[in-house]
Amino acid sequence: MNNIRGNQKIVKDIGFTLLSEGKTIRIKANGYSMYPCIKPGSLILIEPISGKGMPVPGEIIAIRRENGLVVHRLIKIIIRNGVTTFIARGDSNAFADNPAGSEKIAGRITGAEATGENPVPADIRINTKPNYIYNRLRVIGLLLWKKIKQF
């Protein structure tokens, strides 16, 4: 078990290093926070923020967290006393994330690829008004359906 966590940390550190060196990385999405825009199993491309300047509200960004990257939609940028803070939210999340400073923004999502697990590529277009309640209800329904199918 320790070896698995050690390997995950190494992979996470390599991803952060590649992004900080200006390289684009490709990762597999998991979880439902960005459903239906990004479905579990989608391959997403993350490029460093420095490539095209500051992200704009509606773009999907990757935020550094202790356990890796979180990919959510940027909903607000706050600039106070010269300090920039970003607020993001998953398209099907009930609440916004905690504010993140510029140093926590790892990159922006620039592309998506279909996989055998998820043959529909992610929809990464800028969206300033996701339907959070509807998306959340869809996820709850989908997860309930999956549980029912297991029986």
CB-CB contact of 127 with 100 (8 Å): no
Answering whether pTM is above 0.95, one says no
CATH number at residue 135: 2.10.109.10
Q: Average pLDDT, stretch 81-96?
A: 95
The structural domain count of the chain equals: 1
pLDDT digits (tens, 9 = 90+) for 16-63: 888 888 889 999 888 899 998 998 888 899 999 876 788 999 999 999
What are the structure tokens assigned to 142, written together?
A: 């989908």
**Range ranked top by mean pLDDT from 57-61, 62-66, 143-147:** 57-61
pLDDT band of residue 82 (cuts 50, 70, 90) is: very high
pLDDT given for residue 11 in this prediction: 77
User: 12 lies in which domain range?
Assistant: 2-150
